[in-house]
Chains A and B, each alone.
Chain A
Amino acid sequence: MFNKDRWREILEVLTSNVWRTIFTAFGVCWGIFILIVLLAAGKGLENGIKKDFGDIATNTMFMWTRATTRAYEGLPQGRRFEFKISDVQAIRDNVPNLRFISPRNQLGGFGGNNNVVRGIRTGAYNVYGDYPEIINQDPMAVTSGRFLNYNDITEKRKVAIIGLGVKNDLYDKDEDPLGTYIKIQGVNFMVIGTYKKNNSGGGEEGQKEIFVPFTSFSQAFNRGEDVGWMAITANDGSSISVLKDKIVSVMKERHKVHPEDTRAVGYFDLYEQYNRVESLFGALKAVAYIVGIMVLLSGIIGVSNIMLIVVKERTKEIGIRRALGEQPWSIKKQILMESIFLTLISGMVGIIFGSLVIFGINSLLDSVGPVDMFMSPSVSVGVVSGALTILMVSGLLAGFIPAQSAIRVRPIEALRTE
């Protein structure tokens, strides 16, 4: 393999007709280039879309109540009911493999009236009553102060964490909000922290939220034991999509809802949506591979073709070598190595060009700022080594037929050709 003479010969053969070699190499180069660029483009699209999911824990479902649609156990159709805080423990007891169960209550909402007052400034914000775990399900960066903790919950402290959007509305530019009070629907809450969300999907809205302890919220706004909705996240190993039926049926049982009433408990399965997007990208990747490999294939056929011509041209030489006692497998190896070398080198050039183009696109994206649904296209080392493996195998395949034809010629016939 690492035989100096063999390598010299490979180079001699490949450089003896430089332009032909270059044109042949171009086919393979182009194929692998297309493959790399397509995969990178797919990855860029994927990154762009996934960015919109933000940091939200994707193995999560949201669950809320609606009016029942079937009468059950003497209760009428069209009955409204609410989740209770005791439901959280019931779910925890009945459904294993759940990581977080966050009961939530909410004030305000889309197009709501002004509900928060500070001095002479007012604003309309989403105000959530939450448990500390919510920061794991709806991640945010606490930029000053702290987030909620369980002391806030048990002591029903009237404290609030406000978003940067809220801060900008209610405070002067260089005012420190920590320790100040804001009035939420007439109830004073002390600001103990500010946050900023990464989630660009939430956009402006995401920064205009206020988090207060669930218990204080319930007391201050007369929610009693009621729970507005729940955010439930499963453990990493298990899928929420599998667990959600169990959770929903536990809720139906506790609230005397007909087991076949599909509308009484509403839910949104984020994981399922996410998976749908995931499988879309899987399909996209498969298409990129198929197209890339098809283009590559034509390059490979080109190499195979040229190798056949090379063998034909060298028939006499092969005859001489065999007369001098070169083993058939040695000739075969020579042809195969030439073919692999040619594909590998041209493939590497293709990979390099592909990487340069990706690099160019990335720096362009960096300079013009974020673009919708497209972000940092890239290929992984795994993809590149996969591409190299494909090249290796295809080089072998491309050389196989020519190598076979090279040793099929009998030395005496090879010597006769002029």
Chain B
Amino acid sequence: MIEIKDLHKSYKMGSNSLHVLKGINFNIEDGELVAIMGSSGSGKSTLLNILGMLDGADSGEYTLDGVPIKNLSETKAALYRNKFLGFVFQSFNLINYKSALENVALPLYYQKVPRKERQEKAMQYLDKVGLKPWAHHLPSELSGGQKQRVAIARAMAAEPKVLLADEPTGALDSKTSYEVMALIQKINDEGNTILVVTHEEDIAHMCKRIVHLKDGVIVEDKKIEQVRAEQYV
């Protein structure tokens, strides 16, 4: 699904250049649930941003579902993001003047899905994350865990090939974190490819594979025995 070869990225900070990614190589197969771990500054967020086409790499190859991702125009990048990727952020990033339902329907709107169909589909995904009764609530009326579930529903609504989650549990308490992880595991069980960036050991162990990043290089890449999150809920 994702192939990365010798990825480099550096940021210019005034006269200094900060080399964040120093040659990353890895592949992710269809249906994997991968945790990217590392302390802050290890480059894990940068890697995710590049994978999410929010940022470009300096050099190296990135292929997503057989499509080379390189030198994209903003328009093209937006199109690919919409078609291929779903995002879940640490701070949820819901649009706060839109209801939960409208938030979930947003990526479908960008796909030019007709209004009615959009609403139905969004409702279906909200139901999937167990928030159907809250469909018409504004984000401000939802708890953190609920917000993140709306965000996950929104990321899934466009039926992306890969779900990218940037510290999805970073702003949640551990109980809610496990609920969210249970949901992510459920979505993964349905065959979706998911990438989770986290610095929490327990969250990482709920994935099927852990990639350890340190100072811009992969120091460890191992398959693990998945810990099911349901047992903690």
Contact = CB atoms under 8 A, between A and B. Distances in A.
A328 B93 CA distance: 19
17 contacts: A316-B93, A317-B95, A321-B110, A322-B78, A324-B81, A324-B87, A324-B110, A325-B78, A325-B79, A326-B110, A327-B78, A328-B74, A330-B110, A407-B74, A410-B54, A412-B49, A415-B89
Contacts, number: 64
Interface in B25-47: none
B110 A16 contact: no
Nearest to B89: A415
Contact of A324 (B74, B91, B115, B154): B154
B232 to A, nearest CB: 30
Interface in A398-418: 407, 410-412, 415, 418
A12 interface: yes
Interface in B76-132: 78-83, 85, 87, 89, 91, 93-95, 97, 106-107, 109-111, 115
A175 interface: no
A4 interface: yes
B106 A324 contact: yes
Interface string A358-377: 00000000000000000000
B76 to A, nearest CB: 10
A10 to B, nearest CB: 12
A323 interface: yes
A329 B79 CA distance: 12
A66 B102 CA distance: 90
Contacts of B107: 324-325
Interface string A301-326: 00000000000000011011111111
Interface string B51-93: 0101100000000000000000011001111110101010101
Nearest to A418: B91
B224 to A, nearest CB: 29
B132 to A, nearest CB: 21
Nearest to B118: A5
B95 A325 contact: no
Contacts of A323: 52, 54, 81, 87, 93
Contacts of B158: 324-325
Contacts of A322: 74, 78, 81
Contacts of B94: 320
A169 to B, nearest CB: 81
